[in-house]
Structure formats: structure tokens, C-alpha cells
Amino acid sequence: MSIDILESQIARFLASEAPEVMSIKGAWGVGKTYAWNKYLVNAKNQKKIALKKYSYVSLFGINSLDDLKFSIFENMVDEQLFGRRPTIESFKNNTEHLLRSLGKKTLPIISSNASIDHYHSIISSLSFLSLEKTIICIDDFERKGNSIDAQDILGLITQLKEQKKCKVILILNDESLSEGSSIDYVRLREKVIDTELRFAPTAEDCVAIALSGGKVADLLGNNIIKLGINNIRIIKKIEKLAALLLPHLKNYEDQVLYQALRTISLLTWCYYGQSGDTPDYNFVVSRNSAFGDLDDEIMLSTQQQVWCAVLRGYDNYSVDEFDLQIARLVENGYVHENSLREEAKLLNEKILAARSEDSFQEAWRKFNGSFDDNDQEVISCLSDSFKHNAKYISPVNLDGTVRLLRYLGKDKLATKIIDLYLEKRKTESELFNLEGSALPGKIKDHEVIEKFKKKYASLSVKRSLQDICDQILAGDSCSDEEEVHMSQATVQEYIGLFKSQKGQKLSQYVDLCLKFRRLGGTTEQQDLISEKSSEALKIIGRESKLNASRVKRFGIKVE
């Protein structure tokens, strides 16, 4: 049944005073209750509800008719609160209305010797007597307590309709009914139920019901429809987890957000889904290659092949390190902020780099792709590419661009682009090292060469050994440039570093400098760092027996 038909049937039901019983049945999570509440509120806002009182009751855990009757009474609200939870104030108003309607003459029928259970039964009965012309929603029929029979509930519903002139909406998952309850429902529904609706919404229906408008909702909706998710509970879970992500991704490119929402939609569905066609969560998060299912060495079961088909239909989905941070949110319910932002930053840089490369290549395609008289267009495109993407353009491509500009008589623009490039990349000292492995002999333009040399010299001012160690410890990694600086330090500088430290810092510096000899397979620079720091510790150890024992804990033996 489409949501349009369901909405029109509920609207008709609410607009009439005539006593009636309507049943809405469907699978778990498709949004039966959610849809009912939404259309109830819509009708209230449009002032199209005939009756003025409403009560919502879940049968979950209810074990007797008395409990059910009293629950209907205590959850009753007037028309201003339709669609909201009952409050203490609303229950107080119901009780006051009941006492006023009973009057003083009724009180003597309640014996002062009555037990608590008997007193509760009397109150339940009296409260039930006060019910009339009320819209009553009885939800979770399949989850009723074991001590109450389905036929008794259906009998009460009939009584509410015929004697109390009520309108009753019964919501149930008929697929989960116990055998006895299912038999009773099928046997009695013709007598009890006036209108029976099966709610089996499509993914498009569920998106229309569950998600409001806006950029994020639209993106989530597209993902949900592509996956065919028709479970509103899962859709609302996706929406909730997406909301936790948004504050952490607002400063990155839109593509980072798109990937995050694409992943949160899929992984939440897999983690919480109950359908046999829903891909296994662990299978999905282990799929780190879009072509893994082509590996002849991996034998996939029939079920796994079905899952792969779903993932291929979802843009051939596979996970990367950023996606795995989203997976942690799905599993734990909260964001690991530092890890997520670190991976988001790396993904953002990849996106910018790819975009910059495309922009730069597009500029060169204008040069290589025709014999058109479009030199100004080529120059403008190259210039704009450097203005926006200098951070991601290699020195070799800078050199080629500068030489082309000079050939076209644009020396001033060539100089401007060189200066812009140096300013944008000013913190990357090794980038300007013309003797580095990536650049020897590849840079031809004389101005690029001279300015690279000056920039490298200005950035290569000797830093203290302690400054370098502090930077490495803060970042938990060591760049090639930092290794070079550490390898150039003298033994005396290592002695000065170690002897200037106290407490935990001392151990951190020593372990950092010695770690390379413990790793194996080290470079020439790493060998030098290990040799010099070891020699410095040996010299310190020879100063006294106490120091000899101190350096021994780092694996250094004084000869």
C-alpha cells in the first residue's frame, strides 16, 4: 500500500465521529507507528479530527485487561496534546474529571477494608467507565504479555467501539505474532476490524515520511533509496548518527561529507538490518578493494555474491581509512574526534590534490589540444591554476610552466608565479632542495633554480637537536628532513641534550634517538643517529658507576 493511500485512510478515519476499528499491519521497523503519529499531528494542525480525546498505549509488557484499561485512562490527553507524550498534569486532569463525574455518592461503594489489589481493580474499572468518544491507539499487539490473551484484547476493542463509541487504531507486526495470537487475530478480525491496512512502504516512501528537507537529508535520502532501505527505525538511526558527524566535517570539501554520508548510510543499515539480503557488516568493513571479489583465490559463497552485487550497485563500494572511522561511530555510538579529523584531513588533501591535478592538466590540454589562436586563454588558465592549486603542483611542473610563459614573452608573469609558488610552499624546506632525489637536473629555468637555492638555504638554518626531538615527539613520526638534521648533530650535542633533561623527558629523548638501531633495516642517516646517541651515552656512563648503571637500562654497556 502506498503512503498516499495510507494517509488518506487515516485522514478519513480521524475526520469522522463514527465508531470504527482500523488495523495497520506490517513488518518490523517499516514505520507503522511513526506514520500514524505523523498523520495524526498533520490532521490536528489542519483541525480535521472529529473527537477531542486521544490515548496511546503500547501492549509491551501488559499482562491483564485491568492494566490495559488503566493504561488507556492514564495516557489519555485532550486535543492540544495530540501526538505528544502524556504528562503528570494530563493524568491529574483525567483523575479530577473522573472524581467529579463519580460524585460523593459513589465513594461508599469502595470498602475501607478493600485490599490494595481490589482497590486498584475498582479504580481501573471506574476509570474505564469514564472512557467515551476517544481515539485510542493500541500498539505492539505482537508484544503483549503472556498472561493476556489476544482474543480478550480484541474483545475489549469491540467493547470500546460498540459501547464507548470510541475509534480504535490497532498497530501490529503480523509476521511476529505468536501462533495462538495469530490464530485469534485471523479468526476474529472479520468481526472486530472494520478497515485493515497493510503498510509495506518503498524506500522512497520511507524517505518521504522520515526525513525532512535540506542538503544533508537529500544526500541521505539518495543513499537510502539506492540501497532500498524501507525500515524507518534504521533510517532514523542513520539520520541521528549523521548528525553526530556533521560538526566535525564542516571545514572540509563537500566530497568529504558526501563520502561520510554514503558510508554512514550503508554501514548503519548493515549493522542494524535484519533482512537476509542486507550485507553482513563485517564482510563490508573488510572489503578494502572494489575489485576484491575478482580475486580467484577467494571463494565467495552464494550469499556473499549477493552482498557483492549490492555493493557493486552502491558505486562499487569499498572502505578506506576514513570509512573505518565512520564504522567506529556506528559500532560505539560516538565520534572518536581526533582520529576522525585526522583521516578527514588526509582525505580532504587527496581530494584537493586530485582537483588541482585536474585543473593543471586542463590548462595544459588547452595548450596541447589544438592549434587555436588562444594564447591568452592558455596563459590565463595556467595562471589561475597556480593561484588556487600551488600547494599540489610539483616543482617540475612549475619549471615547465615558467619556461612556457617565458617563451610566450611573459617574463613578469613567470616571476610572479615563481614567487607565489615559494610563498604557498614556504614551510616545505626539502621541496626546494635541488640536490634531493626528486630534482637533480630536472629544473631548467635559471630563476627557479636561484630562488629555490635561496629558499632552501633560508629554511635550512640549523635547528637545535632538542627542537627537532620535540617536534618528532609531538607528531609521533620523523620526516626525512628531520633525520638528516639529527644525523648531522655531533656527539657533544647528544651529550648536551641528554644531560640537560630530567625525569620522563630524559627517557623520551634517549628512546627516540636509540629507536632506529632497534628497528633493523635502517638508512645511513638512521645509523648515524644511533651511533652518535649510543656513543654519547657511553661517554656519560664513564663519568661514574652511578651513570654507568643509569645508561645500562637503555641497553648501553660502558666499555
Where in the chain are the domains? 3-201, 205-335, 356-459, 465-552
Contacts of 539 (CB under 8 A, 6+ apart): 491, 495
Rounded to whole angstroms, the Cα distance separating 513 from 522 reads: 13
CA distance 73 to 55: 7
Question: What CATH code would you report for 356-459?
Answer: 1.25.40
User: Phi and psi for 557 in degrees, rounded to 5?
Assistant: -100, 130
pTM more than 0.85: no
Tens of pLDDT along the chain (559 residues) come to: 567 888 899 999 999 999 999 999 988 888 888 889 889 999 999 999 999 999 999 998 888 888 888 888 888 888 776 766 665 565 556 555 555 555 544 444 444 454 545 445 555 556 677 788 999 999 998 888 888 888 899 999 999 999 999 999 999 887 777 777 777 788 888 889 999 999 888 899 899 888 987 899 999 999 999 999 988 999 999 999 999 999 999 889 899 999 999 999 999 999 998 777 799 999 999 887 655 554 445 677 888 888 988 998 898 898 888 999 999 999 999 999 888 998 999 888 878 766 666 666 666 666 565 566 667 777 777 777 777 777 777 788 788 888 888 888 889 888 988 988 888 887 777 788 887 655 666 788 899 999 988 888 877 666 678 888 887 887 656 666 677 778 888 899 999 999 998 888 888 888 888 886 665 546 778 888 888 999 999 999 999 989 998 888 888 888 7
Helix, strand, coil content of the chain in percent (nearest 5)? 65, 5, 30
- CATH number (3.40.50.720, 1.10.238.10, 3.40.50.300, 3.10.20.30) of 3-201 reads 3.40.50.300
Dihedral of CA atoms 155, 157, 160, 166 in degrees, nearest 10, equals: -160
How many residues make up the chain in this entry?
Answer: 559
Give the C-alpha separation, 181 to 184, whole Å: 5
The torsion region of residue 7 among left (phi > 0), alpha (psi -120 to 50) and beta comes to alpha
Residue pair 486/525 in contact by the 8 Å Cβ criterion: yes
